[in-house]
Amino acid sequence: DVKVTQSSRYLVKRTGEKVFLECVQDMDHENMFWYRQDPGLGLRLIYFSYDVKMKEKGDIPEGYSVSREKKERFSLILESASTNQTSMYLCASTPGQGYNSPLHFGNGTRLTVT
């Protein structure tokens, strides 16, 4: 079974801090994604990566950056955390072109910025 592991289930950070959310998958998937989930807004795509060192903006990239130095790891970075980034963050991966393959999700990181 594919395993997607997010390093923290819960995280509390202060406004202005630099925050790193880590995601690791163990199935050699090419594609990795970061979504945020908010009540009433569903899942929104922040960034995705289809190869090492490659990244592409999703629908809401402002205030975020990403890093993919190794195939198995995709990091989401909040350069200067703000309270409106309090949310549930979900990482996912899928193989190859991914168009006919399901996404495999981690269990999420619930981030609170105070």
Partner 1 sequence: SQQGEEDPQALSIQEGENATMNCSYKTSINNLQWYRQNSGRGLVHLILIRSNEREKHSGRLRVTLDTSKKSSSLLITASRAADTASYFCATLRWGSGNTGKLIFGQGTTLQVKP
5 phi, psi to nearest 5 deg: -115, 125
Among 82, 97, 112, 114, binds partner 1 (CB under 8 A): 97
107 counts as binding partner 1 under rule CB under 8 A: yes
- Cα separation, 6 vs 3, in Å, equals 10
52 counts as binding partner 1 under rule CB under 8 A: no
**CB-CB contact of 56 with 50 (8 Å):** yes
> How many positions of this chain bind partner 1 (CB under 8 A)?
28
For residue 20, give the 3-state DSSP assignment: strand
Among 12, 27, 41, 52, binds partner 1 (CB under 8 A): 41
Among 4, 21, 66, 78, binds partner 1 (CB under 8 A): 4
Tokens 């198995």 belong to residue: 72
Closest contact distance (angstroms) between CB of 82 and partner 1 is: 23
DSSP-derived pairing of the beta strands 10-13 and 109-113: parallel
What are the residue ranges of helices labelled H in the chain? none
Closest contact distance (angstroms) between CB of 102 and partner 1 is: 3
Residues that bind partner 1 (CB under 8 A): 4, 33, 35, 40-43, 45, 48, 50, 56, 58-59, 90, 92, 97-108, 110
